[in-house]
Amino acid sequence: MDDPGGPATLAHAPLVPFSVSPMPGRRIRVAIIGSTGSVGRQAIEVVSAHPDVFEVVALAAGRSADLLADQAITTRARVVGITGGDLVDDRHGDRVRAVQDALSRVATGAVHVIGGVGALEAIATLPDIDVVLVATSGRGALPATLAALNVGRDVALANKESLVVAGPLVVEAVRRHGGRIFPVDSEHSALWQCVNGEVPGAIRRLILTASGGPFRTWDADRIAGVTVADALRHPTWQMGPKITIDSATLMNKGLEAIEAHWMFGVAFDRIDVAVHPTSIVHSLVEFIDGSAKAQLGWPDMRLPIQMALTRGARLLRRRDASDPASRPFSVIDVASLAFEAADMDRFPCLRLALDAGRTGGTAPAILSAADEVAVEAFLNGAIGFGDIARVVAETLDDLEPTFVESLDQLLTIDVSARDSARERVRALSSRR
């Protein structure tokens, strides 16, 4: 039996290195997949602030042809890809022409434009790339993540589905081809910074922090009446609607626990969640000698993005009066740090995610697909806030998890889970 005071038993070798990679004697060559999204735009801010450190070779996005063209001009990217944002899409030519037309309106050097879902894989496997930032959300990024790792490329990962849905495939790709994962989420970046210089056998426990979302102090009856506007008001982070709703249900923290399991190899009984409303402590690691390390900082995504792109090296961040997160960190300004236990009775999505992670196999893929359908239905007004957990739970009950075998298998299961979840949404919607 596992000794609760001893080292965490690792299910597999960690995917993240426990030491900083040396900086190359030239600029770090970067590809950004999902460049027009929130993380992608902030990544461009980071690389633009350090032109002597980074060289952007390629960009990719789902839509937003004009913005993608502007980014290509700003960063001097040589290759851009536009996919339409779907796994199946028949308008690639139109989107490629839209980007080419936008580029032609500004005098610039030659930019190669490619279209279709295969564009992501082509960019992820370009030969002159050091690190691929996978910043697009959804299952459409899975092939690109695996393609990059299968040619030994380092991946700065901000896409949850890559590990939640396809964790076993990612582990195998890293084992076979030697690429590495560098976390972009603030919580996983914090864990990574805490284990830097340590050895895996020294870890006792990983502790992920959660803001608790906007309903941390609400009782169950009040939570049942949550509106879309209520749920989109996150207390500390500015994010897209899907992740904001996942943060409100605490599903996001459960997904992060699954990611942490795959990134660090630590079993679920050694991964805890603590609610920390001010989001100053981004996560902690407890070691076998009873000590703990925490990574603290103002809530801001640009630091974890920068560290993932440099593969652990720290860069000078200039003070910008218009950017509060760039001010020096002050424990005096923080004054105090409060923590509390996560309430899984009021926030059942957290329990559902942790249970799916422990079950393993295809259960997290089913969970992820059902949650995406349920959140979309809530945002569209088809179901209530409390129905999100109900849709996910019933979908998990409906589909028997199996061992993960291939990407094609996972994509097939994703379709089945979405179909099942939509049936439950229709049933719930008809009663409203």
pLDDT per residue as tens digits for the range 295-337: 999 999 999 999 999 999 999 988 888 888 889 999 999 989 9
φ/ψ bin of 280: left (φ > 0), alpha (ψ from -120 to 50), beta (otherwise):
alpha
Give the pLDDT of residue 224: 82
> In the predicted model, what is the mean pLDDT of residues 99-121?
79
Give the pLDDT of residue 95: 74
Give the pLDDT of residue 148: 97
Kindly report the backbone phi and psi dihedral angles of residue 118, in degrees, each rounded to the nearest multiple of 5, phi listed first: -60, -15
pLDDT over threshold 90, residue 232: no
Give the pLDDT of residue 65: 85
Identify which has the larger pLDDT, 407 or 94.
407
Q: Give the model confidence (pLDDT) of 347-366 as tens digits.
A: 999 999 999 999 999 999 99
Q: Give the model confidence (pLDDT) of 112-135 as tens digits.
A: 899 877 899 999 999 999 999 999
pTM, entire model: 0.93
CA distance 242 to 70: 26
CA distance 241 to 353: 19
Give the torsion sign (CA, 303, 304, 307, 312). Answer: positive
CA distance 188 to 208: 8
Q: Give the model confidence (pLDDT) of 23-63 as tens digits.
A: 888 999 999 999 999 999 999 999 999 999 999 999 999 87
Give the pLDDT of residue 243: 85
Would you mind telling me the total number of residues written for the chain in this entry? 432
Give the pLDDT of residue 64: 84
CA distance 298 to 166: 31
Identify which has the larger pLDDT, 92 or 415.
415
150 within 8 A of 132, measured Cβ to Cβ:
no
Hey, which residues does 55 pair with through a beta bridge? 29
Give the pLDDT of residue 90: 53
How many Cα atoms within 13 Å fall on the side-chain side of residue 120? 27
Closest CA to 31 of 64, 61, 62: 61
Question: Please, what are the domains in the chain?
Answer: 28-179 (3.40.50.720), 188-299+334-430 (1.10.1740.10)
Q: Give the model confidence (pLDDT) of 62-76 as tens digits.
A: 878 889 989 999 999
pLDDT over threshold 60, residue 163: yes
Q: Give the model confidence (pLDDT) of 253-283 as tens digits.
A: 999 999 999 999 999 999 999 999 999 999 9
Question: Residue 111: which pLDDT band, with cuts at 50, 70 and 90?
Answer: confident
Mean pLDDT, rounded, of the chain: 91
pLDDT over threshold 70, residue 108: no
Give the pLDDT of residue 87: 47
CA distance 203 to 18: 12
Give the pLDDT of residue 184: 97
Give the pLDDT of residue 92: 63
Q: What is the 3-state secondary structure (H, E, C) of the chain?
A: CCCCCCCCCECCCCCCCCCCCCCCCCCEEEEEECCCCHHHHHHHHHHHHCCCCEEEEEEEECCCHHHHHHHHHHHCCCEEEECCCCCCCCCHHHHHHHHHHHHHCCCCCCCEEEECCHHHHHHHCCCCCCEEEECCCCHHHHHHHHHHHHCCCEEEECCHHHHHCCHHHHHHHHHHHCCCEEECCHHHHHHHHHHCCCCHHHEEEEEEEECCCCCCCCCHHHHHCCCHHHHCCCCCCCCCHHHHHHHHHCHHHHHHHHHHHHHHCECHHHEEEEECCCCCEEEEEEECCCCEEEEECCCCCHHHHHHHHHCCCCCCCCCCCCCHHHCCCCHHHHCCCCCEECCCCCCHHHHHHHHHHHHCCCHHHHHHHHHHHHHHHHHCCCCCCCHHHHHHHHHHHHCCCCCCCCHHHHHHHHHHHHHHHHHHHHHHHHCC
